[in-house]
Amino acid sequence: MKLVIDRVSKQYQNRIAVDRVSATLQKGVYGLLGANGAGKTTLMRMLCGILKPTGGTITFDGIDVSEEAYRAVLGYLPQDFGYYPEFSALDFLLYLAALKGIPKAQAKRRARELLALVSLQEAEKKKIKTFSGGMKQRLGIAQALLNDPKLLILDEPTAGLDPKERVRFRDFIQTLGKDSIVLLSTHIVSDIEHIADEILMMKAGQLIYRGNWAHEKGDLEEFYLQQFEEEGTHE
């Protein structure tokens, strides 16, 4: 199981959002840190096939990101996502299960399993428009797991979760990382400090640091802040 990101770039007219990023990821949890405008979301969107790279390639076990077989093993939670207003939590999961190619009977079982996992089983028939931000985020996490993905990309997954939910989420991600490649981006250093097998740091579209963060290297948050304290970052 290998995700190969080979000199991937994304350029918009006069701005380079991602600049020749290369990395090979295997099973485990990878934390992607970076300030606003560093290129994290752009990189994640390219890894999910939502944006086409201007240069470079992305492959999972040799399958290119543009192919259906790549998307079949992918689970993605965007930073922001909407919903069709008539959908309940269960309807939402069943709809996305159909898009992921999961047959209806299996989808229903899996949806109910995941709703229980994210503590939304009581709300399965409630309309999503009545959900709080945290409930919506948990539903988003559930949909990312529908197809038991080998590659899980989570963009700011803990936004809106309360501290107890964040701890549960961290434990859960650690379990997932044993059998899948999990890449999660966050501003909250403590979310990944203890669970990430590797930290990747982005600044101005480039990967400036990659490695295991051991405690003897000092405080990760301090190191992270040092990288960004002078830069006038922009959105």
Partner 1 sequence: MRREVREELKRVFEPPKPQGKRAFLRALAQPRISILRFALTQLGYIRRWSWAVSVMIFAGSVAASVWSPSRLLGIVSAFAPLLALTVVTESGRSESYEMAELETATRFSLRSVLLARLGLLGLANLVMFFLLLPVVVWRQELGVLRAGLYILLPYLLTAFAGLWVLRRFRGREAVYCCVGVAACISFLAAMLFETVPQLYQPDMVSWWFAGVLALGVGTVRQCTGIVRDSLAA
Residues that bind partner 1 (CB under 8 A): 45, 48-52, 66, 68, 71-72, 74, 76, 78, 80-86, 95-96, 98-104, 106, 143, 147-148, 150, 179
Nearer to partner 1, 72 or 167 (CB): 72
Nearer to partner 1, 62 or 103 (CB): 103
Nearer to partner 1, 25 or 151 (CB): 151
Closest contact distance (angstroms) between CB of 52 and partner 1 is 4
- Residue 147 has which token pair? 């197809």
Residue 180 three-state SS: coil
Closest contact distance (angstroms) between CB of 138 and partner 1 is 15
DSSP 82-145: ---TT-BHHHHHHHHHHHTT--HHHHHHHHHHHHHHTT-GGGTTSBGGG--HHHHHHHHHHHHT
Task: Specify whether the CB–CB gap between 64 and 17 falls below 8 A.
Answer: no
Nearer to partner 1, 47 or 207 (CB): 47
- Residue 135 has which token pair? 């409930």
DSSP 11-75: EETTEEEEEEEEEEE-SEEEEEEE-TTSSHHHHHHHHTTSS--SEEEEEETTEETTSHHHHHTEE
- Residue 208 has which token pair? 């400036």
Closest contact distance (angstroms) between CB of 195 and partner 1 is 18
User: Quick count: other Cβ atoms within 10 Å of Cβ 112?
Assistant: 14
Closest contact distance (angstroms) between CB of 206 and partner 1 is 22
Closest contact distance (angstroms) between CB of 164 and partner 1 is 25
Nearer to partner 1, 143 or 186 (CB): 143
